């Protein structure tokens, strides 16, 4: 190998026995090797977890001619020429091919002309066409564990014949975020520094800045926003702030976060604190005005407020109950007294007759039927005794109580 070959490439394993990680796939890998024919596979997982390495090792184990290319660097015309005399195609980042380009592989896989070993960091359900996905067996890889990364780090240190304190290696492992390639690149960077620079105290001041990998189209995108909303729902401000930081540092669009916070304010807090919704909307407006990076300030304020606010999903549940009734039985006719008599004919038909104008009665309340025939006295909204919702419902309870007292006299 060239002296300019990256350390990650130099340490790429040559056998499956040397491969580190993905212990949950070992039995499946053995079954694939022992099969009569190598199936076309899709390796799905985060960066630096060994997708390409595993594909290469599988291709080598079958002793057939293979070619490895990356989707961003090759077009279909060039690919047609390159695959004429090969049995196995290793295609990195297949999600970078358009849907139409992915269709190129359908007849090739249908006839068995080639075996495709593709890799992707994006959720195949969204990034790979349904037709192509049906012809591939998906292997889901995970980020490397702390122990697996430590094993790789020790191997790299031994290969480079350098000494790095274990505490410093722990820092590198933490910064790598489960990505073996990032970890090996950091170790290679440190191999050119003075021994005094490798102490834990000096390490963070000399390391190149690590760009946290966001995955705005993949699983982590949805996992993090889900964790944020569930932490708010669970009234945990610390966890809420942590997941907010994960999203922002990963490059998430703050407007997307704002939209989810607005929904959380309505669904999970609701009438327990009616100010939660306008605060979330104001946060979205603030983001539009000031942008990032300062936008984290109103976002953090809003997230903490929502986490601390009392919780009630009564209006959310009430709508779903009303929606279920309409979907099951259809909308019923609006009672005549609630219809607006906008024409003479409407008046003749009885529109508006018998309607009681609440403001004409003491306390701006009067008892009358509002639901259609067949749904009278049906209850969709069940208030909770949380925060402001108790006070909001107290007024209506008092009015209804006064009406019942008058009726009983």
Segment 4-31 shows an average pLDDT of 88
- Residue 1 is predicted with a pLDDT of 60
343 assigned to some structural domain: no
Statement: residue 369 has pLDDT above 60: yes
Q: Which long-range contacts (CB under 8 A, 24 or more apart) does 153-156 make?
A: 153/183, 153/187, 155/11, 156/7, 156/11, 156/183, 156/184, 156/187, 156/188
Segment 32-59 shows an average pLDDT of 90
- Residue 3 is predicted with a pLDDT of 63
Could you tell me if 197 and 69 lie in one domain? no
4 assigned to some structural domain: no
Percent of the chain surpassing pLDDT 90: 38
Could you tell me if 68 and 175 lie in one domain? no
Whether 269 and 310 have beta carbons less than 8 Å apart is answered as: yes
Model pLDDT for residues 177-223, shown as the tens digit of each residue: 788 998 998 888 888 888 777 878 777 677 766 544 544 445 566 78
Statement: residue 32 has pLDDT above 60: yes
pLDDT band at 240 (very low <50, low <70, confident <90, very high): very high
Dihedral over alpha carbons 161, 163, 166, 172 (to 10 degrees): -70
The top-scoring range by mean pLDDT among 127-131, 177-181, 276-280, 289-293 is 276-280
Could you tell me if 170 and 277 lie in one domain? no
Could you tell me if 108 and 82 lie in one domain? yes
367 assigned to some structural domain: no
Residue ending a domain, among 119, 140, 161, is 140
Could you tell me if 279 and 198 lie in one domain? no
Q: What is the CATH number of the domain that holds 315?
A: 1.20.272.10
pLDDT band at 386 (very low <50, low <70, confident <90, very high): confident
Could you tell me if 174 and 252 lie in one domain? no
Residue ending a domain, among 206, 226, 246, is 206
CA angle 392, 396, 399 (to 5 degrees): 145
Could you tell me if 378 and 229 lie in one domain? yes
93 assigned to some structural domain: yes
Could you tell me if 47 and 132 lie in one domain? yes
Residue ending a domain, among 157, 179, 206, is 206
- pLDDT averaged over the chain? 87
- Residue 244 is predicted with a pLDDT of 94
Model pLDDT for residues 84-128, shown as the tens digit of each residue: 889 999 999 998 888 888 999 999 998 888 999 999 988 888 889
Could you tell me if 46 and 131 lie in one domain? yes
Segment 371-385 shows an average pLDDT of 89
pLDDT band at 71 (very low <50, low <70, confident <90, very high): confident
Domain count, the chain: 3
Could you tell me if 93 and 45 lie in one domain? yes
Could you tell me if 165 and 180 lie in one domain? yes
Backbone dihedral region of 63: left (phi > 0), alpha (psi from -120 to 50 degrees) or beta? left
- Provide the domain limits for residue 162: 146-206
């Amino acid at each position: 190998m060239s002296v300019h070959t990256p350390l990650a490439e130099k340490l790429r394993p040559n056998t499956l026995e040397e491969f580190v990680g993905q212990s949950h796939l070992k039995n499946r890998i053995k079954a694939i090797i022992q099969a009569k024919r190598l199936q076309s596979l899709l390796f799905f997982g985060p960066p630096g977890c060994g997708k390409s390495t595993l594909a290469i090792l599988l291709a080598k184990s079958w002793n057939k001619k293979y070619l490895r290319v990356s989707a961003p660097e090759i077009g279909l015309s060039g690919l047609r020429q390159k695959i004429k005399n090969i049995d196995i195609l290793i295609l990195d980042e297949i999600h970078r091919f358009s849907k139409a380009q992915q269709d190129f592989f359908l007849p090739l896989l249908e006839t068995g002309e080639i075996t495709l070993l593709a890799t992707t960091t994006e959720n195949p359900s969204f990034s790979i066409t349904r037709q192509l996905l049906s012809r591939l067996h998906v292997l889901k890889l995970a980020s490397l564990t702390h122990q697996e990364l430590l094993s790789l780090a020790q191997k790299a240190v031994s290969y480079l014949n350098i000494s790095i304190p274990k505490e410093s290696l722990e820092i590198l492992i933490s910064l790598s975020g489960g990505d073996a390639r990032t970890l090996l690149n950091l170790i290679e960077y440190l191999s050119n520094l003075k021994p005094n620079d490798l102490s834990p105290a000096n390490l963070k001041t000399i390391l190149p800045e690590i760009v946290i990998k966001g995955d705005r189209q993949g699983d982590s995108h949805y996992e993090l926003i889900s964790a944020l909303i569930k932490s708010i729902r669970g009234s945990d401000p610390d966890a809420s702030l942590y997941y907010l930081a994960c999203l922002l540092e990963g490059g998430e669009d703050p407007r997307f976060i704002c939209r989810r916070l607005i929904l959380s304010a309505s669904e999970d807090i609701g009438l327990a604190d009616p100010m939660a919704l306008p605060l979330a909307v104001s946060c979205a407006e603030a983001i539009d005005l000031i942008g990032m990076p300062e936008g984290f300030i109103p976002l953090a304020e809003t997230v903490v407020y929502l986490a601390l606010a009392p919780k009630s999903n009564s209006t959310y549940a009430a709508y779903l109950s009303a929606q279920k009734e309409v979907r099951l039985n259809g909308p019923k006719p609006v009672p005549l007294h609630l219809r607006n008599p906008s024409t003479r004919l409407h008046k003749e038909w009885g529109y508006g007759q018998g309607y009681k104008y609440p403001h004409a009665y003491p306390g701006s309340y009067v008892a009358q039927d509002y639901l259609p025939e067949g749904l009278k006295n049906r209850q969709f909204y069940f208030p909770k005794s949380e925060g402001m919702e108790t006070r909001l419902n107290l007024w209506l309870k008092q009015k209804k109580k006064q009406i019942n007292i008058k009726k009983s006299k």
